[in-house]
Amino acid sequence: MWKTLLFHDTFLMKWGAERMNIEIAKILDANIATALWSPDCYDAQAMGFEWKIIEVNPNFKRGMLGFMLMKWRFFRSKKLVSEYENIFFSNEAISGIWNVWLSTKTYYYAHSISRHLFDLRKQYLQKVPFLIRPGFLLFSVFLRWLYRKEVQKVGTIFVNSEANKKRISEWLGRDDAIVIYPSVDMDKFRIFSENELLQIIAKEWILLQSKWYYISFSRLTHAKRIDIIIRAFQKIPDKKVLILYGENDSQKDEFIKMGEGYPNIIFHSLKENENLPVILSWAIASISVSENEDFGMVAIESMASGVPVIGVDEWWYRESIISGQTGFLITSDNLEENLTFTVKDTSVKVLQDMQWACILQAENFSLKKMYQKIKEFI
């Protein structure tokens, strides 16, 4: 019998939760079970993962029907989970909790609470065809009840931020959640010399034409407020912003069109994330103004690279950014104007002087810190 299983819903893309789960599985010497591991996601073996990957729903499709079928597979995972002494559930895979033995030690890491059932339900409802909205509402009421029951059954709960700890207490009645922050690889995200920059990403360097640029590397969606970043830099043509995006970003065409005619707004596709740390390390500052974040990896990856962060003064950024020392927190009221003013009014020297404070702050979110915290409880 293998001792530990990490059970995550899907490994679809190279996102923060997926990367962190691979790191956690390495720490725990755990096999990984998931509905689907997409070729677009990380290469676990290249990241040093040496154990077994089990796909329980390899024909997974996105959408409501695909979600329901995935949850059904998790409900029917008794044969799988009964083989392990410790089960580390993640996100929607928590539905596998109904199949564990009483003697099994269970853990749940909430990278993101199922917010489509709570504070973001209205936003998700707008995406549902009008005629089936009543059915969706009834189904969401059932899912919310079910999710509460599942969370109550888990032995130990981990969350990725104080913000999510508060949510899980208010919405799900668990006051004992333990905060384990997502980690940043301090060997990967670091300061790079100009020679390294030229050797690794000569083409991107030619594209930039100058090292004095701001950077945004969130997904191109309205939730990330990319439109606000574009409009802010339209007003300050002497400041350059590099907006990185992935080929699978669904709203990229809309935002690229917004930036047309403004040579200071540069869009660049990164098919792989390998060159991101180098490009990031030579930015003046990173901009991350997303709404409703669970925890912003952009901030700690930027700070690990010695790059200060301009973020929104909301609770998910307050946990990582020290305003005035490792960047600036700007209010969400009149966000576009506040961002424009901060970029326009802050000198390059002020931002450069924050470099070492950024790196020291990022150390609090290192892989080593996460390892110590997990081993403390498991």
Query: What 8-state DSSP symbol labels residue 44?
Result: T
Closest CA to 80 of 68, 105, 97: 97
* Whether the predicted pLDDT of 24 surpasses 80: yes
- pLDDT of the residue at 272: 58
pLDDT in tens, 189-243: 998 877 777 766 655 555 555 567 999 998 888 888 999 999 999 999 999 999 9
Higher per-residue pLDDT: 119 or 227: 227
Return the higher-pLDDT residue of 153 and 212. Answer: 153
Q: What is the pLDDT, as a whole number, of residue 163?
A: 86
Q: For residue 97, which of 140, 144, 147 has the smallest C-alpha distance?
A: 147
What is the model's pLDDT at position 192?
Answer: 85
Q: Among candidates 225, 278, 218, which has minimal Cα distance to 249? A: 218
Instruction: Please report, for the chain, the start and end positions of each structural domain, with discontinuous segments joined by +.
Output: 4-180, 194-365
- For 194-365, CATH number out of 2.40.50.140, 3.20.20.450, 3.30.470.20, 3.40.50.2000 equals 3.40.50.2000
Token pair recorded at residue 55: 């796909």
Among residues 275, 326, 333, the alpha carbon closest in space to that of 303 is found at 326
Choose from 104-113, 121-130, 272-281, 344-353 the range with maximum mean pLDDT: 344-353
| Higher local confidence (pLDDT), 92 or 211 | 92
Q: What confidence tens digit (pLDDT) does each residue in 154-172 have?
A: 999 999 989 889 989 988 8
Dist. CA 88–CA 90, nearest whole Å = 7
User: Residue with structure tokens 């490792």?
Assistant: 326
CA angle 303, 8, 91 (to 5 degrees): 75
Does the pLDDT of residue 21 top 80, yes or no? yes
Please name the residue ranges forming H helices in 252-334. Answer: 252-258, 276-281, 297-304, 315-318
CB 298 within 8 A of CB 327: no
Task: List phi, psi (to 5°) of 342.
Answer: -65, -45
Q: How high is the pLDDT of residue 26?
A: 93
Q: What is the pLDDT of residue 205?
A: 55
Of 98-102, 144-148, 252-256, 289-293, least confident by mean pLDDT is 289-293
Mean pLDDT to the nearest integer, 5-19? 90
CB-based burial of residue 321 (10 Å sphere; 0-12 exposed, 13-18 middle, 19+ buried)? buried
Three-state SS at 174: coil
Q: Which of the two residues, 292 and 94, has the higher pLDDT score?
A: 94
| Residue 117 DSSP one-character state | G
Q: Rounded to an integer, what distance in angstroms lies between the CA atom of residue 145 and that of residue 172?
A: 9
* Position with higher pLDDT, 67 vs 41: 41
User: Would you give the DSSP letter of residue 171?
Assistant: H
From residue 138, alpha-carbon distances to 54, 66, 134 in Å are 33, 18, 6
Q: Do domains 4-180 and 194-365 have the same CATH topology?
A: yes
What Rg value do the Cα atoms of the chain yield, rounded?
21
Average pLDDT over residues 114-124: 74
Alpha carbon 311 to its chain centroid, in Å, reads 15
Taking the alpha carbons of 93, 94, 97, 100 in that order, is the dihedral positive or negative? positive
**CATH code, 4-180:** 3.40.50.2000
Instruction: Identify the residue whose tokens are 């009221």.
Output: 333
Count Cβ neighbours within 10 Å for each residue of 224-246 and write b for 16 or more, e otherwise.
bbbbbbbbbbbebeebbbbbbbb
Report the range of poorest mean pLDDT among 1-15, 88-102, 269-283, 288-302.
Answer: 269-283
